[in-house]
Structure 1
Amino acid sequence: MMKLVLCFVAFFAAAFGSGDVTFIHHPKNIYFKGNEIVDQSFLTEIFSASLGFTTNQDSDWSGLRITNPFHYAEAIVVLFVDGIEKLESVKGHHFDLNTDEDEDTIWLNLERRVRNRFPSQNNTLMRVELTEGPNGLVPFYNLIGEADNTVLPDVQFLDLNVTEDRAFLSEISLLQDIVKKVESGSISRDGIPDVYWFLLRGLHAVWDLHSDESPATVEAEQLLKDTVNEMNRAFIKAYEGRVLITMITSDVSHTRQVRQVASPEATRASSVDLKAAPTYDENYPVIFNIILWFMVTFVMALLAICLVIMRMDPGRDSIIYRMTTMKSMKKEN
């Protein structure tokens, strides 16, 4: 019986990837609460709402609250750590993640929304694969200039002669180069939303090689934590606090992902209300302004007519006086 239970648990873990999303920093008007599970596919809506965009779906998820509509985020910074279920050592508001959608789909949906909202603006929309080395940073270097010579971090337990360890350290060093460029003032807020999306894949191989509690793995996690803290401070300074910084960890790429088609009832049950404005037709602003200014003009004209009538003094010789006095009315009879 025990073997059957273990087999079932193993099958379930293999079929459904799991993960964690940590909101490390958020603007003053946005805050997170509770510990409800959030669907990975819903992260696009959370990021969109944080930028002040109208969201495309409703939900009962109550983990996000927006208190001030005039202080939205001007940038979204995401560090996606692939192959790891959770890193609790990173400070922030943690939510368990239901990995029902691929990471690249979230990125594409968010990129599309920003471009549709600001089609003629020079937004910074950047997705960087740290595993590609300096070649993966070409778009970033085009924006802020070439980085200095990359230096691998000093380590005690990780071995530079081991392929997995060196690959992870190379990713960390590239991320540190990015942080240094941001700290130098190469990036600043301009009122136009920006998105920075970084992918780190090397930590999973370190876990597999050394086990999750080995000194090498602990050192790797500490390196990542320190780099995330530096990245957090750099982007907060660059955008004057108006930035949403998020770390996503997911083991979905190393498990068997099963896509589920939810029933209409299930979809409604899992939908989330972000208190966002409903979607209106593109002609709504025109019609609204026509009606608004017509009513304003009508009320002002009516008020003016009333004031004129109130101030009228027809006098005893006017036609109004003669037609309304009792004497003239008797003569006519």
Structure 2
Amino acid sequence: MASGAMGPSGGAGLSQLFLISAVLTTGVLGDRFSILRASPSVHFRDAGPLPGGRIPDVVSLSMGFSVEEDLLWPGLAIGSLFHRPRANFLVTVRGVEELVLPKSEISYIVENRLYMVGKANTIFEDLPVTLRQMRNCLFQEDSVLRFLPPNSLNKNNEVDLLFLSELQVLHDISALLSRHKHLAKDRSPDLYSLELAGLEEIIKRYGQDSQQFRDAAQILASVIQKFADEVFSIYSGNALIELLTVKEFDASLVRKTRSILESPSISNPGSPYGLAYRYNYNYAVVFNIVLWLMIGLALAVIVIAYNLWNMDPGYDSIIYRMTSQRIKME
């Protein structure tokens, strides 16, 4: 299981911002991006397939951050500018194209595979990372096994243990957040990225038609929905929780694509085609700074020139006053 938790630096230094990077791998069609719970300030609507490489941009825009390139995908509607979610949770499940959840607001087809990487927050350093640590957690009193229905999974099997351990980690994350509620009340937005690979290993071991897979898929759906409801409640409904399901991808099929619009001559001043420089998203900021600075300087020059033109040397000029007093004294 790969997990990442992010949050800009907050009061006690526990909320530390971590970078999520996305790597586009293949062009597999059929994966799903589902919205489990959404803050009232974020609105999603029906739309076509979502490019996997733009999922980080969807997350950024939903949190109120800017992106380098405009998002042309119409699924994310314009929301409130001054009321943005305080947290975003992205849970990635590998091995299935779609996971049937008890409830979800809306889902979209994903055109490309997305791989999220991140760095864990300091409050999650005590989470188990090895199979031995996970096995010990599963046999504790607050184990997630106490909440699971009867199933065909065997916790003594390594593959089943990996799957059950990921459920335990989800349970531990929500428990940690409930104990550190100050993270949900500070002014810094929090971003979390979690990747679950246990279900994919169960498919490889037992097959997609096995009873183990059916039980695991049903259990995972209920645990993820419970996790979404708990963290949504911790952030008082001001959070966004998404689920990304990825069937599979083959690294041998990866190839780099390039658009004809990405020619080096676009940013070349000596281009024989007379093309302009590529647009930079900082252009609007620099343009406004220069524009209003020049307007302010022009107005200042006009006001100063007007006052100098209408100044009476006999009353307004300090030079005239100093020289006139000296002449009278002599």
Tell me the TM-score normalised to structure 2 length: 0.63
1:157 to 152, 157, 160: 152
Partners in 1 of 2:229 and 2:295 — Cα distance?
46
The aligned runs of 1:139-288 (5 Å cut-off) are 151-153=143-145, 154=148, 155-186=150-181, 187-253=183-249, 256-264=252-260, 279-280=282-283, 283=286, 286-287=289-290
- 1:150·1:177 contact (CA, 8 Å) conserved in 2? no
2-structure distance, mates of 1:136, 1:280: 51
Give 1:88 deviation, angstroms: 3.1
Deviations 1:118-171 (A, max 9, x none): xxxxx959999x99348999xxxxxxxxxx766251442112233211211111
Letter in 2 for 1:151: S
Give 3-state SS (helix, strand or coil) of 2:129's partner: helix
How far is 1:215 from its partner?
3.0
Aligned equivalent of 1:88: 100
Structure 2 CA distance, aligned partners of 1:135 and 1:286? Answer: 58
User: Partners in 1 of 2:133 and 2:73 — Cα distance?
Assistant: 35
Asked if residue 132 in structure 1 is aligned to residue 129 in structure 2, the reply is yes
Q: How does 1:11-30 map to 2 (within 5 A)?
A: 16=28, 18-30=30-42
Please identify which structure carries the higher helix content: 1
Report how far residue 89 of structure 1 moved: 2.8
Cα distance in 2 for residues equivalent to 1:131 and 1:96: 33
Letter in 2 for 1:219: D
Where 2:184 maps in the other structure, the secondary structure is coil
CA contact (8 A) 2:87 2:235 kept: yes
**Offset of residue 206 of structure 1:** 1.5
**Partner in structure 2 of residue 47 of structure 1:** 59
- Residues matched between the structures, number: 254
Q: Residue 219 and residue 40 in structure 1: after superposition, are their counterparts in 2 closer, same or farther (change >3 A)?
A: same
Cα offset, 1:279, TM superposition: 3.7
When structure 1 is superposed on structure 2, of 167-176 and 252-261 the one drifting more is 252-261
Which residue of 92, 98, 111 corresponds with 1:98? 111
Aligned partner of residue 32 in structure 1, secondary structure:
coil
* Residue in 1 that maps onto 2:269: none
Q: Give the direction of change, closer, same or farther, for the CA distance of 1:282–1:293 in structure 2 (3 Å limit).
A: same
Find the aligned partners of 2:180 and 2:43 in 1 and give their Cα distance: 27
What code does the residue aligned with 2:242 have?
T
Mark the runs of 5 or more structure 2 residues left unpaired by the alignment.
1-25, 135-139, 263-280, 308-330
Q: Which moved more, 1:177-186 or 1:71-80?
A: 177-186
CA contact (8 A) 1:157 1:219 kept: yes
For 2:124 and 2:55, locate their aligned partners in 1 and report how far apart those are by CA, in whole Å.
Answer: 16
Matched letter for residue 163 of structure 1: E
CA change 1:190–1:287 in 2 (3 A) is: farther
Cα pair 1:21 1:95 within 8 Å, conserved: yes
Give the Cα separation in 2 of the matches to 1:233 and 1:295.
57
Is the 1:124–1:194 contact (alpha carbons within 8 Å) kept by the matching residues of 2? no
Structure 1-normalised TM-score?
0.62
Deviation at 1:172? 0.8
State the secondary structure of the residue aligned to 2:154. Answer: coil
SS at match of 1:218: helix
Measured against aligned partners, the alpha-carbon deviations of 1:72-126 in whole angstroms (never above 9, x if no partner) come to 12212111112322213352311111225x413xx46xx8xxxxxxxxxxx9599
Q: Which amino acid aligns with 1:84?
A: V
Task: Map Cα deviations across residues 233-288 of structure 1 (whole Å, 9 max, x no partner).
Answer: 2221222222121111113445744234142469xxxxxxxxxxx54466556546
- Opposite residue 129 of structure 2, the aligned amino acid is E
Distance 1:175 1:59, change over 3 A: closer
CA apart distance, 1:210? 3.1
In structure 2, what is the Cα distance between the partners aligned to 1:125 and 1:259?
Answer: 37
Alignment RMSD: 4.0
Q: What letter matches 1:52 in structure 2?
A: G
Partner of 2:328: none
Equivalent position SS for 1:198 = strand
Do 2:41 and 2:79's aligned partners in 1 also have CA atoms closer than 8 Å?
yes
- Cα separation, 1, equivalents of 2:231 and 2:30: 28
Identity of paired residues, percent? 19
**Cα pair distance change 1:85/1:66, threshold 3 Å:** same
Structure 1 pair 28/87, CA: closer, same or farther in 2 (3 Å)? same
- For the structure 1 residues 218 and 183, does the alpha-carbon distance in structure 2 shift closer, same or farther, using more than 3 Å as the test? farther
Quote how far apart the aligned CAs of 1:290 are.
4.2
Question: 2-side partners of 1:238 and 1:135: how far apart?
Answer: 30
